[in-house]
Each structure stands twice: as C-alpha cells, then as structure tokens.
Structure 1
C-alpha cells in the first residue's frame, strides 16, 4: 500500500550524485578495423571526455589514460575530436587534447607509447584548434578543420581545411601545416572524399547566417598529390544543408531543408562537374529529393562540427535518423524510397553513426534507459546493445512516465512539450493537493528536448515535483516554419510558449498555479530570466549560465560562432537597438520580484560570468531573494560531478523553500535579498 505525503516531500533513491554520474552521453562513434570507438563523459574524472574502444571480443576499455581529454573547442561547442586507423601492430589514433587543443598521435597497443604532439601551440588569441578529423595514411597526414586565431578578440579567427603531417614535423612549425582550401568562408566542416578519392565535398557558411539558416556545399577536385583544385560553391540559396557524403557509385548525398524539412537529396555523378558554375534559385541547384513530400526531419542543427544523421552503406542503402517528437534509426533504399526502421525501445538517436559492412552502430536512448551504443544488423533486422549499456542502479519503477503533449499558445499556435508528472511507486499525495511543477526551457534556442530518460528529471519527479520540457517555437524537429517562429521574436515567443504550457497545466488541474517554477540554461537561461522579468506565472526560477545582455553579445561579448546570431533572433542591431534593450533581462532587472538561483561557470566564454555579475549588481538592494553559485573550472555546461551535485541540490533547496515543502535532506540555498 502506498504511503501518503505532500508533493515534493517524498523520499527517493535517485540522489544528486546518481544523477550527476549519468550526465552526458557517448558521442562521436567510429570504426577502427573490427572495433567500435566513441567518446564518453567522465564526471568523476574532472569532467574529461574519455576515448573508449570496444574490442572484437566485446570488452570495453579506455584508449587514453587520465588526464588525456578527447574534446575539441572548435566553434566552442566542438566537433568530432579523433580519428584512427587499424594497423598490424595496433591502431594509430590522432585526437584533440582539450586543455591545449593540440593534435596528438598515439599508438595504444605499442609498449611504452605516449601521446606525441603533431601541431604547435600559438600565442595568438586562443591558438590553434582542430575538429572533424580523418587520417590519410597513404599521404602520411591527418586532415581536418583548423580554427586559427589571428588576434586577441574572440572574433579574430579564420577557419580552413588543413593537413597535418603524422611524423610530428609540424609540432613546433606552423609552416609545416598544409592548407587545403582558402579561408573565403567563415565556417567549414571537414572534407568527405568520394569513393575514388578524386573529389571532396564539405559544408560552409558565413556570418550573419547560422548553419540552420543557410549553408552551401563546396566541391573540389583532389589531385594525386592531395591538393584541392577547382574549388567551387554549389548554389543553395537560403536552404540549410546540414550533412553531405558520397554514395558508393560516386553520387553526392546531402540533407537540405529547401522544402521545409531536412530531407535526403541525391545528385548524380554526372551533375557534379558543372555544379557551381552558375547561380541557382532558393532551392539547391542540383540533386533531387529521395523522399519527396515527407514531413519529418532527417537532419538537425549543426551545433557541432561533424554530426551525422545518415551514413551510406556499401550496398547503396543509407542508414538514416529521422522523426519529429521522437527519432528512429532506419534503412533507406534511395532507389525505391522504402524505409524500414530498427525495432527496439529507443526513442532518440543521436546524430552519430558508424558502419561496418552490413552493421550500423548508433547512440540511442529511451524513456526507460539512458544513451547506449546500439548495433543494427541490416541483413536480419536484429538490434542489440554492444557498448555503454544502460544499467538500472535503482528500481526503474522510480523513473518518470512522460507524456507527449501539444498545447495551444497565443493565436492558436501549437506548442510541443514533454510532460513528466510526479511519480513514485510507493508514495501518493493527499487527495485534492495539486503538484508543483518546473517548466524547463532548453538551450540553443535552436535546439530541442529529446524524449529520453534523464535522471535530473527523475530527481524531481520521484520527489513529487513535476517537470514540463517545452519545445517552444524556434525548436528544431518540427520543420523550418516552426523553427522560424522565433525569428526576431526571441524573448517573446519562447517566453509566451513556456507560459502557455505552465498555464495549460494549471488550467487542467495538473499543476498548482501558485507553485510553478521556470528553469533553463544558456539560451534557456535567457528564457528563464526573461520569464521572471516579463510574466507573473512563476513562483521562482533557476537560471544556468545564461544569456542576459544582447547588447554585449552583439559587441564582442561572446564567441565568434554566435556573434551574429542575434541578427536573426532579434534583428540587426543598427535597425532595432530598442529591441535589444527592451527584451534584455538585464535591462528589465527591476521587474524581477520572484526568488531565483543563478548558476555560472567562471570559465564560460560563450556566456561570460560578467553578464551574471551585472544582473546581480542591478538587483542589489531591491529585496529580491536570490542565490549565486559560481564554479571555477567550469565552462558552458557543467561537467564535473561535484559541480552538478551542488547545483542540483541547490535547485531543490530553492523549490523546498519557495514551494513551502518540508524537506530536511537538502541544503538551504541561503537566499539573500
């Protein structure tokens, strides 16, 4: 028989340490001979990213010992940080080491081997950075994206595709790095070589466009000496192309949203020689849709360099990730349009795929399990977990039971959300009591909240506090039109949509209208802060490493990748200066009256701590209860276990105090006015 206790007071086996230990997910899959490799979070090891190999016998081990950290800082959000090839004596791996961003070569199976540097340090700005690597062993080089700072400002930067000698001759010599393309585009991805090695294709874009606004495909011919010649852009108008790769027969495959959804397209080999010779209309100048008229996403936003939503197979089929609220791994026959999905409990597939013959490997999670490495045998349709397997460290009966919901917002617009009501197998609330809820706003804001098990959500729901993740207008996963609702409306549509979900839950009797909080990080931190300043819906809020000052962002206040992002989110500063001020949570700090918790990494270059400190200065003496926790060694998004534990417990402490709960097992956040 279930015990009875007020919402928010229930005991739970899911503590902050357990939630922190499961934060993050495997990323950047690849195959090395018969092995599958990936990067994995290690919160207990200073937040480093380990490089993991799954040997042919199924055993898993770390390729790199502590403190080696395989993580790139290109465009600050990073990209594919490693490449490896199989050799008779064991693999050769090249990886980016996070602290100095140099490339290192390492032979893990060679006795006494140590990582050796391949690239030099630079005293200019933030130096040299690398991502999206591929080893060209026949040429004795590793190719990838080079991000090079040319001055002290965060926007003093250039990006090219470059080749680094594997012999270490460039370790102290920048001149030994061979640039394969000019820096005529601000951003580039790594090259994808055609099956015959005679052509290369990559994606490029320029300010003020973000990669989900407009990108172009770049083609080049590759000489026998590894030189890129005949480099040319393929006109794509205002379409966003998020991935490009080659079919086995030399056709070019790419994902474009020219028809409103990221969809697979194909250009025939014979059309590629002339591609880019003349300007084209808004839709791609070459290629045709593989699945015309299908309204679902087969791609996503390029927040990192080297993401993969599809992978060609040797037999001409294509492994694809597709869906809207949830995603699936499917095998697409481009000649017939037939699409067959893998069977299993997974509701979200990350944009990372690897192929070995007829086997496709991906990173997937479900509502009852975290992200794990899953293999699909395309001959039999059989799926199995082969790595990073989810294990239940507590009774899964304590996991939340999500509901996919669509709410109605201003003007009758649809708002997509995932609602997680309070849930505990052994506790229930007194009859008639309504539960407290926390509305979560995701980052980006061009992002989305996947429908997967998240132990941070379970941390709250198992204690009797509901969570509603809002995929507000501007989120990806629902087509370009839904994504562009936020265009020049940031701070309006996102705030309205979150409020509509909160009020909708209250109106239907699912949430206590007096005990609703708002929470978000990064762009979600902006939405949380703007919601506290612009509405009276919320009793309190949790603001993590937020954007608070758009004027500062627009004037060298952030990193290069997003330095022009506000031109689409708010409009050009020269035309709409009042908009930058009127929507700024910093400028509207006098309207904030609800208690809040502010969490900030002191090494954050995307949302620098100066913004948070200016908000606190504006609120000084105004009598608004708040707490500020700043963490040394943390950047944009927390990665250390001790940080995540303290942050999560402080958040629960805020709700304990504000919602009038009776918990004695969490620290008081010590709000000051």
Structure 2
C-alpha cells in the first residue's frame, strides 16, 4: 500500500542540485561537413556555453575547452554565436565564434595545435563591439555577421549593421578593416544570407518603437566585391507585418515567414515574380515565432526543393513541406516542442526537440527514409520517470469569455498519496517575454515541486505566441491587465473545480513574468504568496534608460505611447501599488542584469519596507538576466520551496530555512 502524506511534504529524489544540473538546453545546432555542432550549457562551470560536436563515428567531443564561452550579447539576448565551414583537401574545418567575456570574434581550427585567434578588435567604448549570426564565406575570405557597435556610454548609444570581417585576422587590431555591408539607417538587422548565384543578399530589419513581432522589413541588395550592398529594396514586410525569417531556396526563390494572414506562414517569391504566394494557406497554425535572438530559424530549404519546417498550434512538430503541392509530412517521434534552430545538409535535417517525458536533445531526420534519431545531448532519466509530472493541456475561460491556454501539472509521486480530504497547493507560473510562451516539455524545475506535492499551472496568457497574431495582440496596451487577469482566472478555476486549495495558491515568474507575479500580488488578492525573479517593477525607470536598447521602446506597444498615456505607466507599475501587497513574497535578482537591473528591485524593496509584509531578497553577484550557475539555481529553488513551506504550513525540514523580514 502506498503511504499517505500531506501535499508538499512528500519525499522526492528530484532535489535542487539535480534540477540545476539539468537546467538549460542544447542550442544553435549546425551541420559542418559530416559533423553536427551545437552549444550546451555547463551550469557547473560557471554557466558557460560549451561548443561540442558529433563525429561521423557517432562519438562526441568538445570543440573548445573551458573557459571558452560561446555566446553573443547582441541585443543582450544574443543570437547565433558561431559558424563552421569545411575546407577542401586534408585541412580540417574552420570555426568562427563569439567569446562571451570580451565579445570578440575568434577563428579556430578544431583538431589543430593552435589557440583561437581574434578576428575583431577590443573596444574601450561602453559595451564595445559585439557580433552575432555569422556565416563563413571562405571563397571571399570573410565572415558575414551582425555588428552591434556602442558609440557612447548610454544603452541607446548604439548602431547595428551587417558587416564582413576578414578571416585573415587583419581586423583584430584595426576597426577600419571591417567592411560594412549595410548602413545604420535601421536600428536592428539580422545577418545577411547570400543567394545561390552569389549576386544578392537578403536580411531583416526593423526600427523603434516596433518589436520584431510587430513589424519587420525584408530587404534585398546586390552584392559588391568591396563595398556595401547596392540597390537595396524592400520585398516584403511592413509596420503591421512581422517576418521572422527569410532565406533563399536552391532555385533562387525567396522564402520567408510572415504573419500577414494572422499566423506566421511560409511564403515564396519566385525569381522575377512581383508577388509572393503562401505555401500553406488556411492551416491556422504557426510556422514561426518571436525573434528574441538574432539568427533563429524555423525553416531550412533542402536541396531537392522541399523545405524543413517547424510548425504547430501551441505545441510544435518538425515537418517536410513540398512547396509545389502544399503537402506537409511530419517526422515521427515523441517530441512536442521543436526549438527555432533548424540546420540541414543534403538529406539531413537537425534540430533540438523535447517532450513532456524528455528534455531537449539533438535530433536528426533522414528525409530519404523518414526516420528520426537522437544524435546529441540525449535525454537520460536521472531518476525513475515515474516521478515526472503528467501535463494536462487545457483551455480556460477568462474575462470577456476569452480563451486562456495553460498546461496543468498536478502533484505526482509514486511513493505517496494525499489524504482524501486535502486539496493540493498550486503555483501559477507566468512565462517571460511577455511575447513568448511556456513549451510543453519536461522541466525538472517543475518536477521538483510536483514530486513534493505542489501543483504547477503554466499559463500561456493572452499575448503569448503559438496561437496566432490576434491572440498575441491581446496584450497590446494591456500589459499588467490581461496577463494578470488570465493567470488569476486559471488559478480561480482550478480552485472552483476542486483541483487546487483556494487558500494555498501562489504565483511566480521571471522577467516579464516577474512583472505579472508582482502585479498579481498587488492587485488580485488571489494568491497566498509569490516568487518574483529579476522583474520589471517600475515602468517610469525601465522605460527611461534603465534597460537595454532592444526593449527600450517595448512599452509603447505593451502600455501605450508615454506622451499619450503617462498616467498609465504609474497606474500599471507594481512599485506604485505596494500598499496592495499583503502576501509574503520572495524576490530574486542577478546583480549583473542589464535588462531588468537591480535598481528596480531595490526601489521596490525600499517602498515595501516597514509595511509589515514578510519578504526575502536574494541577490546573486555574477548572474545576469536568467540564472546559469548551478549554485544559483540550487539556492533559488530551495528558497522558493522554503517560502511555500512557511506560507502553506508544510511540514518538512530538508530545505534551508528562508528568513522572511517585514
């Protein structure tokens, strides 16, 4: 007989150290000759990103030892940080990568005796020179990429262009040796992609105050031998049309993903044609997503004319699309989430995918046979999978009868059952962005709580991606309203139906989710406590120079133009409503965060002081926006659990106590 235990007090083999060891995921996959390369997180090595490869014989090895950290800081969220190329003859491949500490581009010959050599100079100006989305053009002796160049001390003193960096190292000490391919007439650009005939390039651009999911431009230009692109013209996109990726097909057609029809869908512009045509009209699902990082790819053209695509509504699949017929055939496998980072070569398609029973792993599809297999970062059950939660995909009804999508993870542990007369505590998780979503994947951070008897509700509130532009636009000028209402509606519905204990509901979130958590505590009265990670709390400060350039005008769509609705900025800010917060809360902050800086949290705490609200503040030196180091993830998880132990009246002594001050 399975023993009875109260919710929250169940013993679990999934401890914080195990969850921390499995935080992060493989990313930025690419095919280099017969090898597949990608980056992997190293929480135990200071949170660096390692670059690894899978050799043709099936074995894997690192391409770069510690302390090399393959990560870009362009737009702070980064982007594609490396490029590889095969050299003819006996020579091994070339690698170009961005090293996180100094943000220089380096050239390396894997397998050789030499150390990586810098290709770009250091800069003494503010954030210096940063690089992302590189593509090696060995025949031209260059690597094309995005250059982000700071021109002053402020976060907005910055320009971005497409640039060509010499592979011979001549620009390592000479900024003038870097050839700019575009001017800086647009605030943001992606890396240019060269047409099959080598004559044209295509890239995306957008400008403040729009975010890339609001409106982008697809630009093409003629390639010159020594100067910038010429004959630049707009071929797609616009102020109310978001294009998240553009690339060339082998026949010279231009392929791109546009939400002109409410969903991000593939379009094709044939050579010489005046108008593009949709390739999958009427499917009412997403083939793209928000461009939070430079160089994300939801599709890859294949040599036979078909296109590998990531698509779906909520969850996603990998499919092969025939542009001539519109036929779409999905790859087999258990995966419910494919990351936006496909790579292809010949008949191979490689991506990063996960499911509710497996963490993210590198997966290869052979388009000749239709077979899939895991080739890197394979999921291995660190504990008996019987301890994993089973998600329920649900749709709730919110204010104005609107739909709210959520993933519900009930408490689950094979070693315990709860008393018949007890309802479980639940924590509502608000994802970041807010233009993002919560994927349907195995997360040991969620399992850490569910295996102890605490349920988790991940809410894809109005404004989330994956459900079309109309759903995404629900948050326009409604941030702090729709997200808060939707999370509360899910929490209250779970309580009303007898799934959750109405007296033991909590809310948590990071970044924009931290905003939602704080605003929820201040305005709803639904939650008994909350956990707030590296949040936005004060719109006046965040929107007037405290954050980075990429999101510095984001509030114009989320709240409204400041000059038109100045009062709304204070009305929505959690810092202006601390008198409404009566529930205990935990606030966690990285001290190196330039996106949601510590000053936001510190001002919020100063306003809270002396009001008698129990709270704790944990600040982590060396951590930025999102925690990467194992010791930080462990401390944060255990502190969050300690908050619930105290507030929910849970009897357990296996987490360090959390001192709540008033």
Q: Give the TM interval when normalised to the shorter protein.
A: over 0.9
Asked if 2 retains the 8 angstrom alpha-carbon contact of 1:75 and 1:561, the reply is: yes
The 8 Å contact of residues 180 and 227 in structure 2, kept in 1 or not, is answered as no
1:338 aligns with 327
Give the direction of change, closer, same or farther, for the CA distance of 1:226–1:321 in structure 2 (3 Å limit).
Answer: farther
Hey, what's the Cα distance between the residues in 2 that align with 1:13 and 1:430? 21
Deviations 1:43-96 (A, max 9, x none): 000000000111111111111110000000000000000011123221111100
Contact in 2 for aligned 1:312/1:319 (Cα 8 Å): yes
Structure 1 Cα separation of the partners of residues 56 and 198 of structure 2: 29
Shift of residue 225, structure 1, vs aligned partner: 4.9
Establish whether residue 79 from structure 1 lines up as the match of residue 79 from structure 2.
yes
Which residue of the partner structure matches residue 115 of structure 2? 114
Alpha-carbon contact 1:548-1:584 (below 8 Å) kept: yes
Q: How far off is 1:554 after superposition?
A: 1.6
Alignment-derived partner of residue 89 in structure 1: 91
> What TM-score comes out, normalization by structure 1 length?
0.97
Give how far 1:224 is off.
4.6
Find 2:434's aligned residue among 445, 458, 472.
445
Which residue in 1 is equivalent to 2:489?
Answer: 500
Q: Which residue of 2 aligns with 1:458?
A: 447
How far the C-alpha of 1:294 sits from its partner, in A, is: 1.4
Deviation string for 1:396-422 (max 9, x for gaps)?
000000000000000110000000000
Q: Distance in 2 between matches of 1:422 and 1:236?
A: 45
- Which residue of 641, 646, 652 corresponds with 2:641? 652
Partner of 2:200 in structure 1?
199
Provide the residue aligned with 2:302 in structure 1: 313
Quote the offset at 1:290 in angstroms. Answer: 0.5
TM alignment of 1:366-515, pairs within 5 A: 366-515=355-504
Q: Judge conservation of contact 1:181–1:228 (CA < 8 Å) in 2.
A: yes
Any runs of at least 4 consecutive aligned residues in structure 1 with deviations exceeding 4 A, and if so which?
Answer: 224-227
Matched with 2:624 is 635
Q: Once the two structures are superposed, what CA deviation does each residue of 1:204-234 show, in whole Å capped at 9, x if it has no partner?
A: 0000000000000010011355752111223
CA shift for structure 1 position 669 = 1.1
Say which SS state the counterpart of residue 39 (structure 2) adopts.
strand
Hey, what's the Cα distance between the residues in 2 that align with 1:214 and 1:9? 49
Structure 2, gaps ≥5 residues long? none
Q: Which residue of 2 aligns with 1:46?
A: 46
Partner of 2:61: 61
Task: Kindly indicate whether the alpha-carbon contact (under 8 Å) linking 1:9 and 1:661 is maintained by their aligned counterparts in 2.
Answer: yes
Cα distance in 2 between the residues matched to 1:17 and 1:360: 34
Q: 5+ residue gaps in structure 1?
A: 276-285
1:294-313 superposed matches below 5 A: 294-313=283-302
Residues 33 and 66 (structure 1), Cα distance of their counterparts in 2 relative to 1, 3 Å cut: same
> Secondary structure of 1:658's partner?
helix
CA distance, structure 2, for counterparts of residue 130 and residue 196 of structure 1: 26
| Contact 1:627/1:672 (<8 A) preserved | yes
SS of structure 2 residue aligned to 1:311: strand
| DSSP 3-state at the match of 2:374 | strand
Matched residues in 1 for 2:220 and 2:397: separation? 45
Q: Give the CA deviation at 1:527.
A: 0.1
Please name the residue that 2:223 is paired with: 222
Q: Distance in 1 between the 2:551 and 2:184 partners? A: 19
Q: Which residue of 2 aligns with 1:665?
A: 654
SS in 2 for 1:646: helix
Indicate whether 1:269 and 2:271 are aligned: yes
The CA deviation at 1:427 is 0.6
Structure 1 residue 138, shift from structure 2 partner: 1.0
Counterpart of 1:126 in structure 2 is 127
Work out whether residues 29 and 39 of structure 2, in 8 Å CA contact, stay in contact via their aligned partners in 1: yes
Q: Report SS of the residue matched to 1:49.
A: strand
SS in 2 for 1:270: coil
Q: Does 1:523 align with 2:512?
A: yes
TM-score where L is the length of structure 2: 0.99
Secondary structure at the aligned position of 1:586 is classed as helix
| Structure 1 Cα separation of the partners of residues 453 and 93 of structure 2 | 50
| Cα RMSD for the two superposed structures | 0.9
Helix, strand or coil for the counterpart of 1:575? coil
CA distance in 1, matches of 2:32, 2:344: 10
Match of 2:606 among 608, 617, 620: 617
Q: What's the counterpart of residue 291 of structure 1?
A: 280
Tell me the residue number matched to 1:2: 2
Cα distance in 2 between the residues matched to 1:119 and 1:10: 54
Q: Alpha-carbon deviation of 1:356?
A: 2.0
Secondary structure at 1:588 match in 2: helix
Whether the 8 Å contact between 1:434 and 1:512 is mirrored in structure 2 is: yes
List per-residue Cα deviations over 1:475-528 (Å, max 9, x = no partner): 000000000000000000000000000000000000000000000000000000
Helix, strand or coil for the counterpart of 1:167?
A: coil
1:234 corresponds to: 235
Distance in 2 of aligned mates of 1:226 and 1:366 = 47
Per the alignment, residue 283 of structure 1 pairs with none
Q: Give the distance between the partners of 1:191 and 1:6, measured in 2 at CA.
A: 57
1:582-621 deviations in whole A, cap 9, x for unaligned?
A: 1100111111110000000000000000000001000111
3-state SS of paired residue (2:545): coil
Return the alpha-carbon distance in structure 2 between the equivalents of residues 137 and 382 of structure 1: 33
Distance 1:256 1:448 in 2: 19
2:16 is matched with 16
Q: Equivalent of 2:251, from 229, 249, 252?
A: 249
Q: CA deviation at 1:236?
A: 2.5
Provide the rounded CA distance (Å) in 2 between the counterparts of 1:195 and 1:235. Answer: 20
Q: State the SS of the aligned residue for 1:567.
A: helix
Separation in 1 of the partners of 2:192 and 2:119?
Answer: 20
